[in-house]
Structure 1
Amino acid sequence: MRPFVALLAFLCLCLFDGCRSQENDIHPPPPSLIPYRISQNWKVRWGYCTPSKQIAIKTGYEAAEPFDSLFQRAKVKKGGLWGYIDPQGKFLIPPQFKAIGAFRNGIAPACNKQGKWGFIDSLGNEVLACRFERLSEPNEAQQATALYRGQWGIIHRNGTWLLPPAFEATALCGEGLLAAKKKGQWFFYDAQGHLLSEESYRRIRQCRDGRIAVANIVNGEYRYGFAGKHGHLVIPLQFKEVHNFSEQLAAAQDAATGKWGFVDTTGQWHIPPRYEQVRDFKQGRASVQSNGYWGIINTQGQAVVEFLYTILGNFSEGLAPVQYQGRWGYITSQGANAIAFFEAEQAGAFSQGLAAVKHKGQWGYINRKGEWQIPPQYEEAAPFRHGLAKVRFQGNEGYIDAAGRQYWK
């Protein structure tokens, strides 16, 4: 999936995100430097301009991303390779990498011209030599999964192998747990790479609340349960499907009825299985579907938002998009109608006081009153971030600000 399309898909993921402060509802001003696109003779070049569209950094890049407001740097592509520039357009990291991942704790995975991955620091120096076929982003402990000579292992940024490259796959499970797959079975290891248990599983998930969702084949079908941080099974393999634990509860699908409910950390039903679909608890509430309609329940299984909606989107800035009788609107976390229902094909979550809405095949943005702030005219439209949103217009990508100003020519 293309990164930009993935952003679009994120618009309508139905995850309950709770209310955020009204601080985020204010339209922030656009940043002092904005990626600016020029298209000429079928050739696209990027540079940076001021909010008044005065060119500040010449348009000589094949791609340009917004400046990081914290570190005052931006990722750009030149000659088919990626690097970073400062606000004066000088290279902090010369364009020398085929790909650069996200920086975390001062390091980022990067792929050199030869197609090998390693870790670099904020100046482009190799912290971990580029010698791997694949390398994940590091976790908080600065560990990463690495593919080396066709085998997977887990390595620390200092080059020490926690699990040697001798496995079919490896995973960072969170809460200090590592996992490795051998002959189709996953085993768990501690943070130092010591095997925790001889018990193994065909499928594993992330560790949450001290529990890891695991699965094996039972009577010809996958059945899910949960292992503890020691690797031993603590909740039997009895569910058709499960989610990770969230707020001490995990969504689980009853194998006999196919209905979803929620179990506690002992595996007992806390909320009986009676829903067609469910989403995880966040801030004491979860979106669930009953008889084809979505509503919201609390941790006691009581409905706090009625089952009225064919679609219930994620809450952001205190509002969630909902579809009711074929029309879209927005509700509060208490279920009150905040924006009257209107005709649209799709409606996204609010970000920085605006929500992307698709009307008659094109995307625009509405404000919290339900009025068009930016009329529908785009083929694709991502959420606002740092005062800018990425859109696709007439086949090309570019940036707009909250006033609808377009930064391209």
Structure 2
Amino acid sequence: MIKRAVLAVVGLLLLTLIGSEAAGGDKDAPLFIINQGGKAGYMDRTGKIVIPPRFDGVTGFREGLASVKVGEKWGVIDQQGKMVVPPQFDEVKSFFEGMALARFQKKYGFIDRNGKIVIQPQFRLAGYFAEGLAWVEVDDKCGYIDPSGTMVLPPKYEAARSFSEGLAPVKTNGKWGYIDKSGKLVIAPRFDSASPFRQGLAEIGIGGQLDVKFGFINRQGTLIIPLQPFGEVFFSEGLLAVPDDLGKWGFRDATGKWVIPPRFDAACCFYEGLAFVAVKEKYGFIDKTGKLVIPLRYEGVEKGFSEGLAAVEVQGKWGYIDKQGKMVIPPKFDRPWPFKGGLAEVIQGETEGYIDRNGKFIWPPGQLQEPPSPPPGELQPSPIKPPQKKEKLTYEDRQAWKKILQWPNHCSPDPADLGRPDAGLPHENPSGLRFWQLEPKKYLVEVKCWVEPYNDLQLYLFYDETTEPPTSRLLQFERYDPGAKIIVGEPDTELSGYPEFHPQKRELTLWTRPPGLGEWDTWTKYRITEDKGVFLEVRAKAPDDNGKYKGIPQDPATYPIVVRPPIKAHLGKQDTYIDSGTVQGGELTADGIDLFSISFAKHDTFERLVFDLHQWNMKGNPPAVRPSFFLVAYEQYPYRLVFEIEGIRMVNATFPNFAGSNYINNLHVAGSLGDSGVKYALTLKKPIEFEIYELHQPARIVVDIKGSKIKREKLPAVYSLRTQSLQSKSVISIQEILTGMFRESRILQSRNKKYLVEEGYYKTKQDALTRKKYLVKNLKELKEIDKGVILFIEKREVNEIPKVIHK
């Protein structure tokens, strides 16, 4: 669509991270991220190190603060490098309106500029504050909270976005509409995609992934700019670059009127009063009257003007011009980014760094953070020679392919993958144009499709040279069926971040996110035919404590399973977490799920625990439904399986008798999930292997347990910081207090079946003692519960049941 479009997007992303105060704050003193000796810090525009590189990860500054990583935890610093929030969170996002999202124990909350937790971590997902409200997800539904944490708009939407200009996009029954701050639906849900309002207009999309069309609506929901197959674009300085029905580009105003008639082959947004345009692959700049003020003479343009300079391409190299078209920095760079805060990031050969407005390097070469290398071995396939029988495609070859391949109407070839005229692309780049021969003169072709900023799609086409002329067909991929086979059991070397194709098997594995399968460590495998990708299986990461991958064998279609990625244990020892379940049934206020029974059965080669779930309401006994969420965690010190089941309103189940079990000691309550969930722990006699099944009808969670065949390393003893043995009525309150101090506290059973709360376990006695002193000093609430709570330090082996300790 626009040459160097992806280059522009990457530059925008990097400079947002690098430029201090990209949006809001002290713009007179920008700081730039540097990397030295594997540590990150910040410099000023003169190259002077302001904050020495001592962090394992950093972000750009916003509202005077930046997030920094120390070890595995994130904190916050100010522009003098002072740590204003100690590293204690799993993630800290940028500040908006004085508050930042912080993640702890897989839940999001909000902190203020002083690091105080103003809204406790309790949400699976959440957005930043905008116009005084932030969207949050509760039980798979989205609502909005105010800065005090009060839910001002109840969670009833399938998805939600931040407010902008008084309106926010929300999704209901699969369609997007807009609400105001009172929750009133002001634009009915009828769109397949929706963006925030900017300058009185919002971009919306109608149609599926391969036939979507975009347009712009006003605040009344009236379509102002007609539906057309262009990607995401933005109004800039009151004008919008869009194509007409013939593919020619011009500029419309906020009323939809053509201000600059469509006559260009490409065009982009106005920046500092000028916008670049192209005719016959030559680029120049126009003003807002449509007058060409800088001639069409460049091979490419990077985004547009920023701080009075714009990057342009001449004979395969990049330099910078001013608004009169004068080349002020000669073309000598291989990759440019816009100027921001007086500096621009560039790449020149092997040199990567910052330059000033004279083209002089301010920061020495090779000091910026480098992108991760592709994984080695088979996951870096070198596809066979393309149909041209060349090791490399010339620029002319790539342009020919650009015309031959069949493209969906909402995207275009990624210019960065098609390359510059002076570059021949070897077929080793996993993100570029690749070919695999399926049979003589028939190929699978992989190519990137540029849809919109920050959104590239991998497209797969079947290319056939047996026809005259050669033809190509866009492959359609079967959608994931929740009743289909799902397997977890592949080693880590076959779960990389790149697509992998085996020509002999015709199997393609894609990095995808099917509905209900969680985050990005999910892969889908397909068998490739000449027409489509046939769904085979899904893989998801779920490692055991040795880093291997648990296998969930396929049981005949009665066992449709949903598996999500792992979560790290708090001590850094990675245990097995399986996070499963999808939303079924109604609102908790009207009905819910009844944990009807918990049963145990012993078989020859394994033991089985079954949680039976039934829907509950006032009308009788409807059929069983699946929970809104459940999690199974395999722990040690001692060995346990912990179950969290949310969406529960009633518990009628009694605990089974585990007499004669080879693996299970007992089952006990392990905590509270508010008024809509239960938490149990299964204490184990020895290390185990286990398999999780989720049945649809009847709704059951099935856990099969057998002895572990894995040779385990001998684990050292730890020092447990725990309470005395307690009655069950007080342990939940104590756990909530200790968890509020940023530790994953646990409810355990001691040897006399009484309860205790473990604040955490530590590698050394001194670590536990230091933590104990801090808690005793700061937690006066413990003295007010159950006639006083005392903390003890107990040395415990990996599978030792806690001792009975009295006051």
TM (norm. structure 1) is 0.73
Counterpart check, 1:396 vs 2:351: yes
| Equivalent residues of 1:313, 1:322 under 8 A apart | yes
The 3 A distance-change label for structure 1 pair 280 and 165 is same
Note closer, same or farther for the CA distance 1:400–1:263 as it changes in structure 2 (3 Å cut). Answer: closer
Sort the Cα spacing of 1:226 and 1:333 in 2 relative to 1 into closer, same or farther, 3 A: same
Post-superposition offset of 1:202: 2.7
Confirm whether residue 262 of structure 1 aligns to residue 216 of structure 2: yes
Return the match for 1:137 from 94, 100, 103: 94
For structure 1, which segment, 370-379 or 189-198, has the greater mean C-alpha deviation from structure 2 after superposition? 370-379
1:385 corresponds, among 336, 340, 343, to: 340
Counterpart residue number, 1:18: none
Q: Does 1:338 align with 2:293?
A: yes
In the alignment, which of 235, 242, 245 is matched to residue 281 of structure 1? 235
Q: Deviations over 1:128-185 (max 9, x none)?
A: 2211000011112x21111101222222234444432222111114001122123432
| 1:147 matched to 2:103 | yes
Offset from partner CA, 1:305-335 (integer Å, 9 cap, x none): 1111232122223211111222211111111
- Pairwise CA distance, 1:247: 2.0
Higher helix share: 2
Aligned partner letter, 1:273: P
Query: Is the 1:321–1:328 Cα contact (8 Å) retained in structure 2?
Result: yes
More divergent stretch after superposition (287-296 vs 361-370): 361-370
Distance 1:305 1:154, change over 3 A: same
Residue 9 (structure 2) pairs with residue 9 (structure 1): yes
**Corresponding residue of 2:159:** 203
Structure 1 contact 254–273 (Cα < 8 Å) conserved: no
- Measure how far apart 1:338 and its partner are: 0.8
Distance 1:167 1:6, change over 3 A: farther
Kept after mapping to 2: 8 A contact 1:187/1:200: yes
For 2:162, the aligned partner's letter is Q
Tell me the equivalent position of 1:376. 331
The one-letter amino acid paired with 2:268 is G
Which position in structure 2 is the counterpart of 1:117?
74
Query: CA distance change for structure 1 residues 246 and 97 in 2, over 3 Å: closer, same or farther?
Result: same
CA pair 244-345 structure 1, distance change in 2 beyond 3 A: same
Whole-angstrom distance in 1 between the partners of 2:161 and 2:151 = 18
**Partner AA of 2:204 in structure 1:** A
Shift of 1:117: 1.1
User: 8 Å contact 1:288–1:294 — kept in the other structure?
Assistant: yes
Partner residue in 2 for 1:355: 310
2:9 is paired with a residue whose SS is helix
What secondary structure does 1:330 align onto? strand
Residue 224 (structure 1) shift: 1.2
Q: How far, CA to CA, are the matches of 1:148 and 1:175 in structure 2?
A: 25
1:328 aligns with 2:280: no
| Alpha carbons of structure 1 residues 139 and 12: separation in structure 2 relative to 1, 3 Å | closer
SS at match of 1:9: helix
Residue equivalent to 1:248: 200
What is the CA-CA distance between 1:393 and the residue it aligns to? 1.2
| Closer, same or farther: CA 254–160 of 1 in aligned 2, 3 Å | same
Q: Is the 8 Å Cα contact of residues 276 and 290 (structure 1) preserved in structure 2?
A: no
CA drift of 1:196 comes to: 1.9
> Which runs of structure 2 are paired with 1:10-409 in the superposition (5 Å)?
70-71=28-29, 76-83=34-41, 93-112=51-70, 114-140=71-97, 142-218=98-174, 223-254=175-206, 259-269=213-223, 271=224, 273-277=226-230, 279-291=233-245, 292-406=247-361
Change (3 A) 1:338 1:179: same
**CA-to-partner distance for each residue in 1:353-395, whole Å, 9 max, x for gaps?**
3321123332122343434433322111122334433221122
| Contact 1:243/1:280 (<8 A) preserved | no
Cα distance change on mapping 1:91 and 1:208 into 2, 3 Å: closer
CA RMSD of aligned residues (A): 3.5
Q: Aligned partners of 1:78 and 1:129: how far apart in 2?
A: 22
Residues 197-255 of structure 1 deviation map (CA, whole Å, 9 limit, x = unaligned): 3342233222111100122443xxxx211122234433211012222111222223356
CA distance in 1, matches of 2:50, 2:11: 33
- TM-score normalised over the length of structure 2: 0.39
Instruction: Check the 8 A contact 2:302/2:312 in 1, yes or no.
Output: yes
Q: Distance in 2 between matches of 1:300 and 1:383?
A: 31
Structure with the greater alpha carbon radius of gyration: 2
In structure 2, C-alpha distance between the alignment counterparts of 1:331 and 1:89, rounded to whole Å: 35
Greater CA deviation, 341-350 or 168-177? 341-350
CA distance in 1, matches of 2:244, 2:262: 7
Distance 2:251 2:217 in 1: 17
User: Do 1:153 and 1:169's aligned partners in 2 also have CA atoms closer than 8 Å?
Assistant: no
Instruction: Sort the Cα spacing of 1:267 and 1:76 in 2 relative to 1 into closer, same or farther, 3 A.
Output: closer
For 1:120, the aligned partner's letter is I
Q: How far apart, CA to CA, are the structure 2 residues paired with 1:89 and 1:375?
A: 22
Conservation of the 8 A alpha-carbon contact between 1:65 and 1:76: no
Provide structure 1 residue ranges, at least 5 long, that are not aligned to the other structure: 14-63
The share of aligned pairs that are identical, in percent, is 31
User: 2-side partners of 1:133 and 1:406: how far apart?
Assistant: 36
Name the SS for the 1:196 alignment partner.
strand
Alignment-derived partner of residue 794 in structure 2: none
CA distance in 2, matches of 1:124, 1:91: 11
Counterpart residue type for residue 247 of structure 1: Q
Q: Output the CA distance in 2 between the equivalents of 1:178 and 1:275.
A: 32
Higher relative contact order (CA 8 A, sep 6+): 1
**CA distance in 2: counterparts of 1:284 and 1:86, whole angstroms:** 33
Distance 1:304 1:249, change over 3 A: same
Q: 1:255 to 1:137 in 2, by over 3 A?
A: same
